[in-house]
Structure 1
């Protein structure tokens, strides 16, 4: 038996978003697992941070498992990977001696994790937002996922933008902050309403998203929070409707903003929803296993 035949088979799935990145390394033969997490890894929000985070994370897990890069098939599912040039640049920056490396969108890995690779529609609500569907014919469809600058409606970051715009309008109209939400935000970002505009010009998507929990906390006692929540729900329902389209698929809501948003959705939308069977990291591992099996057998294995 030669050295190549002695190599073990590992898969490594990475789920990278605008707030955090989590990775799981699995020995296919023994089913041993190693898992670790780090900060954000959005290719469009901060490419260099994303690359450093992912490189450090996968090397950390490789050392923990005491395995070789040549034994590992890696699938990255990253926010912003819909930007093809950035995704290709990222892939080129990963050491070449891994057995196989693929870079997919975070929407794709969520899609395959949510229903174990079976047909489903998925809407992810986190720092960013994106919709995706896997049809009965095996076709993948993505809606949105264009990033903070031109998309991400229904996300935590865009809710934060709505908050700040509303507060600036309040300051302009009244010469200060009147609403409870505005007072809480001003206190959070610096304690002075004059700090709002300077803060907004340097804030990152994660900073805007950090304001979103205040809307859910205050919607019952603050008119501004309630109006922003109504606008947020409108964007989320539009994304769900566009993603599902005429496919008659059940819908899974994923992401940190999905749970607080769900109670405010219409009855018709709620009736479309089902509980997920897995998460985005599960989907990355599913796709990594499928890729590893394809390399071993020469054809793709689904549903295993």
Structure 2
């Protein structure tokens, strides 16, 4: 029976999985980060190689017994030749982490996934395997509906509060506390300093989330605007895919706001994309890497009962789904 090895990596950790063609998990391990844009290349390469070696050892599998090795690691493309050389294997491919995130979120090959983290984009695949991506343009001309956008709207509201002498906002109170300042005017020196970056703006998404959960009018308005922007990304994908009946789901940091935001998003979807049905994310990106390989490399029906039953065993054993 054919065996495969995949990994899902980022800046802080990298997960590895060995499995067979019916979705049985043979080994799992975790190592440090592998995104070479944020880490020294040698460290990233060593983490990947040690993860592959350990996973093979746990599964009692030799490297030449592995049919395919697929690495879903952003920022690792320049390192792939070094990995091939050290392992003396050519059949290793580095793919986009969008691909495994898609399969993990939906548990299938067709549908629409919206990612809203620090940035934002939507990716959809039709039943005829047409693929469309919208968004992902970065903070200058895009990232609407993202954690960054939500944080930016929070800061914009602080300026509005100051100019209009508005004091009665929970969001105002929490934002000033986060800055450790007594009034909004003092934030100018902070936000225009060289050290204040995109990630720090996105941190104010938590302020908005907390305030909205306590019923703050302005924070709720921000979440509604963010949801509208994400649905615009979905609308564009939906139209370009021919308005098929497809599932759609949300992943990324903004999804952790929970039902408060999901319910707003569902309402916007119902108004603007009645042919789509919202579903909760099904699996994590590592499972998504497995499903991607099974579907695209050997054309396995990833929605089959056999695959689903084996994934349940994986979930129970490793608590990763």
TM tier, shorter chain? 0.7 to 0.9
1:301 to 281, 285, 299: 299
- Report the RMSD for the aligned CA atoms in angstroms: 3.6
Question: 1:11 aligns to what SS in structure 2?
Answer: strand
Question: How far 1:58 moved relative to its partner?
Answer: 2.3
Question: 1:212 and 1:130 mapped to 2: Cα distance?
Answer: 17
Q: Does the Cα contact within 8 Å between 1:75 and 1:102 map onto a contact in 2? A: yes
Residue 186 of structure 1 is matched in structure 2 by: 176
Question: How far 1:156 moved relative to its partner?
Answer: 1.2
Question: 2:282 aligns to what SS in structure 1?
Answer: coil
TM-score normalised per structure 1:
0.73
Aligned pair in 2 of structure 1 residues 275, 229: CA closer, same or farther (>3 Å)? Answer: closer
2:253 to 253, 256, 277: 256
Question: 1:160 and 1:287 mapped to 2: Cα distance?
Answer: 33
Question: 1:103 and 1:226 mapped to 2: Cα distance?
Answer: 40
Deviations 1:22-69 (A, max 9, x none): 42221549832223265695x8xxx23496775454244235335577
TM-score normalised per structure 2:
0.69
Which stretches in structure 1 are left out of the alignment for 5+ residues?
1-7, 79-85, 295-299
Deviations 1:167-226 (A, max 9, x none): 23434554x976331331222233454245424643344322222122122124433312
Q: Does the Cα contact within 8 Å between 1:170 and 1:178 map onto a contact in 2? A: no
Which stretches in structure 2 are left out of the alignment for 5+ residues?
271-275, 303-321
Alignment length (residue pairs): 276
Deviations 1:107-149 (A, max 9, x none): 3222222333432111122222221111111222211123344
Bigger mean CA deviation after superposition, 86-95 or 186-195: 86-95
Aligned pair in 2 of structure 1 residues 237, 28: CA closer, same or farther (>3 Å)? Answer: same
Question: 1:236 and 1:32 mapped to 2: Cα distance?
Answer: 38
1:74 aligns with 2:70: yes
Question: 1:178 and 1:208 mapped to 2: Cα distance?
Answer: 23
Query: Where do 4+ consecutive residues of structure 1 move more than 6 Å?
Result: none
Q: Does the Cα contact within 8 Å between 2:148 and 2:205 map onto a contact in 1? A: yes
Question: 1:151 and 1:37 mapped to 2: Cα distance?
Answer: 33
Question: How far 1:252 moved relative to its partner?
Answer: 2.0
2:54 to 55, 59, 64: 64
Q: Does the Cα contact within 8 Å between 2:34 and 2:76 map onto a contact in 1? A: no
Aligned pair in 2 of structure 1 residues 169, 241: CA closer, same or farther (>3 Å)? Answer: same
